[in-house]
Amino acid sequence: MIGSIDPVLLVASLMIASTPILLAAIGEMVVEKAGVLNLGVEGMMIVGAICGFIAAVKTGSPLAGFLGGALAGAAMAALFALLTQVFQSNQVATGLALTLFGLGLSSLIGQGYNGIRPPATARLDLGPLSDIPVLGRMLFSHDWMVYASLGLVAAVWAFLRYSRAGLILRAVGESHDAAHALGYRVVRIRVLALMFGGACAGLGGAYLSLVRVPQWTEGMTAGAGWIALAIVVFASWKAGRVLLGAYLFGGVTVLQLNLQAAGVAIPVQYLSMAPYLITILVLVVISADRSRVALNAPAMLGRNFHASR
Amino acid sequence: MTESARQTLLTIEGLTKAYPGVVANDDVSFAIGEGEVHALLGENGAGKSTLVKMIYGLVRPDAGRMVLRGAPFAPPQPSAARAAGVAMVFQHFSLFEALSVAENVALGMEQAPKQRELAARIAQVSEDYGLPLDPYRLVGDLSAGERQRVEIIRCLLQDPKLLIMDEPTSVLTPQEVAILFDTLRKLAAEGTAILYISHKLEEIRALCDAATILRRGKVVATCNPREQTARELAEMMVGATLATPSRAEATPGAAVLEIGGLTVTPANPFGTALRDITLTLRAGEVMGIGGVAGNGQDELLAALSGETRTEPGAIRLKGKPIGDAGPNARRALGLLCAPEERLGHAAAPDMTLIENATLTATIRKGLVSGGFVRWPAARRFAEEVIATFDVRTPGPEVAARALSGGNLQKFVIGREVMQSPEVLVVNQPTWGVDAAAAAAIRQAILDLAAQGAAVIVISQDLDEIMEVADSFAALNAGRLSAPVATQGLTLERIGLMLGGAHGMHEADLDEAHRHSHPEGAA
């Protein structure tokens, strides 16, 4: 039975399955590093999914689709930024509202787009790399978005670690009062981080509707935004661990689907919950040292800043 | 350098800044010369902070102008002020605990060099000015004195013409203060002007060439602090004569609180572990526990108040083990605590004074019957505290947040004192409180002890401890020294007990340990 699962195909579909969550999680990590807790990832993702889908269908270009998804996600994030950074609303409540709003808005916009196939996203031609036996099919025969998402993770890691702008972003998340006292524009930096996070979530959503599924159905994100949020926390705000968490989740998801198809004698319910359990378990074990995690956690996470002093 | 030889560096003319309901600065004018150490004095709310924020570009004045070296100076933001040669060492709010020293320094600079280069420059400057500092350590792991060095070095790397220091010595040991003053004198000799804000009048008399005194936003006097006594300076600040707290001679009674072998691991990564703390407190005794911030004060208060539970036998109240009892059980037995942080720890900011009074006084004042709060009684109690402690508030239904720091402090201390505790533990009872309110709070502590209660005053203000305490113990890296009588105790001796200047006087530190543990633990 288990022999019917092809490991090559498994790894290949793992990368596809993980990309939406990876994109959303890496964006949310930047937002949280700036000290903002945006629980609206799910909402931004699904609005990105439908807007990206429509843009791709209308123009016939997947690139326009991804751009549309990113813009829609960023627009949702801008709404969140306006409410929390300018009008000082509560971040948790606003984030939850953003998710509910996004789910409703996407079904409204998506009327009449059910059952349509979007234009196919091109594979990235990696030349001889794709011809390597086994490895070529596993790793080097995907669409360009998969590699773009990996590049984004590397870029975010380097940005936060080495660049001055990244240092300022971390400083704002660590103590907004101190950053303000030194003359940094806390609200502007946070709004920019939020827009970046929204664009990433929108991209992740667009990837779902354009490549992973690929078609539009209502509520198609099915909790991917929430697992992205959880991965950021359990990965203790480290880009490398976010990658690990997203791939682990995608991997176990693909594996359990394959196991279900192969008819393994484990109840389906257990298989379905496996990705969530295993991902959180592994990341919790990695970040078992609480004091080191607290060191990496943005101290101002979820706290509103008002320059009153 | 003589007064006449000095070039004027910064002139301030008629600066005015009003906030809704209050004029923070009203037509403030004075001048600072190059190489001058100029003190800015005033009570809380006199407008010192607003004034320096205007010089540093954090706040824009409504009216008035500033002239820096002959050119008009109106920085729209701190980076402009830094570019013009104005640097500021903040009282708090300006360091990032989870970042390294070098990263913290880089954040305060306009064009920060590469980390490695910056680390080399930090090492260079710290050597030049005798301020040892490792650029790669996390700020969260540093002592208060070391943190201040980070701020000072951050300023020095920009070669400032004017250095603003807001309450720099409030968290330092006497030895660290001496090192700081040497650095400042060296800077002044090199021509850097220093604008120095402090409550500590003796320090100002020792360090400053000139002083400008603010009261309610206006300049009320300019003087040479060396020609005034500290008392005269204080009375200029307050605009009234000051009463010194008086204490009656008392003989301590029976032991009420016994702590033996109290060891606590902290919950947060930058907390301090308490190690084997032992002390005995007698009825009528006021014990002062000194120490630089971050040496276990908060953890000790939490262990005494019951927020942190310990071995039952580690803390005994009148012989009864209470180490595992919660705060309410301890209150019922007569052990009350007032923590340092007024807003958010001692008081709930958005609740009224009546509600805040009820929060700790329900048990001893019987404010609850059958599960319901007796609000009329709670209001009477809050009004009683307000009247007795002269808390300036429109009424007891005002939110705690709306009170000024000093008034809220009087309220939270008063709330505990009025419950007639048998043991009262206070942490930093007069932190950030002006002279008149501080005197009132200290008097209340002394009166309580005179009525037979035992009091522990945890404080970083050594003058305060000398004023109220009968015995003194030093808290250093989570260890408590053996208490000694405050009578005849010198500031130098206290400084040694506190562990000297961090990382500078290792020998003194060892000596202090030998003093405090005569048996010697080999």
**Chain B interface residues facing chain A, Cβ-Cβ under 8 Å?**
57-58, 77-79, 82, 90, 93-99, 103, 106-108, 112, 138, 140, 268-269
Does A251 fall in a domain? yes
Indicate if B157 and B272 belong to the same structural domain. no
Indicate if B421 and B372 belong to the same structural domain. yes
Does B224 fall in a domain? yes
**Candidate from A182, A290, A291 with C-beta closest to B107:** A182
B442, B468 in Cβ contact below 8 A? Answer: yes
- Dihedral angle sign, alpha carbons of residues B250, B256, B260, B265: negative
Inspect the interface and report whether the beta carbons of B99 and A170 lie closer than 8 Å.
yes
Indicate if B153 and B221 belong to the same structural domain. yes
Question: Above 80 in pLDDT, residue B428?
Answer: yes
One-letter amino acid of B267: A
Q: How confident is the model at residue B258 (pLDDT cuts 50, 70, 90)?
A: very high
One-letter amino acid of A266: I
Indicate if B63 and B178 belong to the same structural domain. yes
**Candidate from B106, B107, B268 with C-beta closest to A294:** B268
Q: Percent helix, strand and coil across chain B, each rounded to 5?
A: 35, 25, 40
Contacts of B71 (CB under 8 A, 6+ apart): none
3-state class (DSSP) for residue B343: strand
Indicate if B327 and B445 belong to the same structural domain. yes
Q: Pull the structure tokens for residue B449.
A: 């002890």
Q: What percent of chain B has pLDDT over 70?
A: 90
B317 phi/psi in degrees, rounded to 5: -110, 115
The span from the CA of A171 to the CA of B107, in Å, is 8
Indicate if B271 and B207 belong to the same structural domain. no
The span from the CA of A227 to the CA of A205, in Å, is 13
Domain's final residue, options B238, B263, B293: B238
Domain's final residue, options B179, B208, B238: B238
Inspect the interface and report whether the beta carbons of B58 and A170 lie closer than 8 Å.
no
Q: Percent helix, strand and coil across chain A, each rounded to 5?
A: 75, 0, 25
Give the CATH number for residue A124.
1.10.3470
User: Average of pLDDT values for B179-185?
Assistant: 88
**Candidate from A174, A291, A296 with C-beta closest to B96:** A174
Q: Would you tell me how many other CB atoms lie within 10 Å of the CB of residue A240?
A: 11
Does A137 fall in a domain? yes
* CA-wise closest residue to B170 among B297, B52, B292: B292
Domain's final residue, options B173, B208, B238: B238
Domain count, chain B: 2
Question: Residue A109: its pLDDT value, please?
Answer: 95
Give the range with max mean pLDDT: A26-35, B233-242, B330-339, B386-395. A26-35
Domain extent for B226: 8-238
**Chain A interface residues facing chain B, Cβ-Cβ under 8 Å?**
164, 167-168, 170-171, 174-175, 177-179, 181-184, 290-292, 294-296, 299
Indicate if B109 and B12 belong to the same structural domain. yes
Indicate if B113 and B205 belong to the same structural domain. yes
Indicate if B354 and B471 belong to the same structural domain. yes
Of A177, A182, A300, which to mutate for an interface test with B (greatest number of B Cβ within 10 Å)?
A182
Question: Residue B42: its pLDDT value, please?
Answer: 82
Residues in chain B: 522
Residue bearing tokens 């590093």 = A33
* CA-wise closest residue to A107 among A50, A178, A190: A50
* CA-wise closest residue to B293 among B146, B89, B186: B146
Does B161 fall in a domain? yes
Higher-confidence position of B500 and A255: A255
The span from the CA of B503 to the CA of B478, in Å, is 17
B64 phi/psi in degrees, rounded to 5: 100, 170
Q: Pull the structure tokens for residue A270.
A: 């257990």
Domain count, chain A: 1
A108-122, B227-241, B379-393: least confident range: B227-241
Does A304 fall in a domain? no
3-state class (DSSP) for residue B33: strand
On the 0-12 / 13-18 / 19+ scale of CB atoms within 10 A, B227 is exposed
Q: Pull the structure tokens for residue B170.
A: 């409030």
Does B246 fall in a domain? no
Does A309 fall in a domain? no
Domain extent for A97: 2-296
Q: How confident is the model at residue B512 (pLDDT cuts 50, 70, 90)?
A: very low
B41, B222 in Cβ contact below 8 A? Answer: no
**Candidate from B82, B106, B269 with C-beta closest to A295:** B269
The span from the CA of A164 to the CA of B500, in Å, is 37
pLDDT tens, residue by residue, B98-136: 899 999 999 888 777 888 889 898 888 888 887 888 888
Does B260 fall in a domain? yes
Residues from chain B that touch A164, judged by Cβ atoms under 8 A, are: 106, 112
Q: How confident is the model at residue B392 (pLDDT cuts 50, 70, 90)?
A: confident
* CA-wise closest residue to B132 among B183, B59, B79, B58: B183
Question: Above 90 in pLDDT, residue B344?
Answer: no
Does B108 fall in a domain? yes
Higher-confidence position of B49 and B412: B412
On the 0-12 / 13-18 / 19+ scale of CB atoms within 10 A, B493 is middle
Question: Residue B519: its pLDDT value, please?
Answer: 39
Q: What angle do CA B288, B453, B306 make, to 5 degrees?
A: 70
The span from the CA of A229 to the CA of B326, in Å, is 36
Give the range with max mean pLDDT: A44-48, B194-198, B396-400. A44-48
Indicate if B224 and B304 belong to the same structural domain. no
pLDDT tens, residue by residue, B276-289: 899 999 999 999 99
B425, B456 in Cβ contact below 8 A? Answer: yes
Rg (CA), chain B: 24
Q: Three-state SS string across B394-455, please?
A: CCCCCEHHHCCHHHHHHHHHHHHHCCCCCEEEEECCCCCCCHHHHHHHHHHHHHHHHCCCEE
Higher-confidence position of B406 and B287: B287
Q: Pull the structure tokens for residue A128.
A: 């001889």
One-letter amino acid of A143: D
User: Average of pLDDT values for B483-491?
Assistant: 81
Inspect the interface and report whether the beta carbons of A182 and B78 lie closer than 8 Å.
yes
Residues in chain A: 309
Q: What angle do CA B512, B456, B401 make, to 5 degrees?
A: 120
- Mean pLDDT taken over chain B: 84
pLDDT tens, residue by residue, A208-254: 999 998 999 999 998 899 999 999 988 889 999 999 999 999 999 99
B343, B350 in Cβ contact below 8 A? Answer: no
Residue of A nearest to B154 (CA): A182
Indicate if B259 and B231 belong to the same structural domain. no
Residue of B nearest to A289 (CA): B269
Residues from chain A that touch B155, judged by Cβ atoms under 8 A, are: none
The span from the CA of B520 to the CA of B522, in Å, is 6
Round to the nearest angstrom and report the end-to-end CA distance of chain A: 67
A123-137, A201-215, B196-210, B439-453: least confident range: A123-137
Residues from chain A that touch B96, judged by Cβ atoms under 8 A, are: 170-171, 174-175, 178-179
Question: Residue B292: its pLDDT value, please?
Answer: 76
Rounded to 10 degrees, what is the CA torsion of B259, B263, B268, B271? 80
Does B418 fall in a domain? yes
Indicate if B232 and B261 belong to the same structural domain. no
* Cα dist from A15 to A202, A250, B418, whole Å: 18, 7, 67
Contacts of B260 (CB under 8 A, 6+ apart): B278, B313, B314, B316
User: Average of pLDDT values for B38-66?
Assistant: 87
Q: Pull the structure tokens for residue A56.
A: 């791709």
Q: Three-state SS string across B102-157, please?
A: HHHHHHCCCCCCCHHHHHHHHHHHHHHCCCCCCCCCEHHHCCHHHHHHHHHHHHHC
Question: Residue B157: its pLDDT value, please?
Answer: 87
The span from the CA of A197 to the CA of A271, in Å, is 31
Give kind and range of the element (H or E) at residue A26.
helix A7-33
Inspect the interface and report whether the beta carbons of B96 and A178 lie closer than 8 Å.
yes
pLDDT tens, residue by residue, B10-37: 999 999 998 776 788 899 999 999 999 9
Question: Residue A304: its pLDDT value, please?
Answer: 87
Higher-confidence position of B25 and A25: A25
The span from the CA of B320 to the CA of B318, in Å, is 6
The span from the CA of B129 to the CA of B160, in Å, is 14
Inspect the interface and report whether the beta carbons of B98 and A296 lie closer than 8 Å.
yes
Does A307 fall in a domain? no
Question: Above 80 in pLDDT, residue B517?
Answer: no
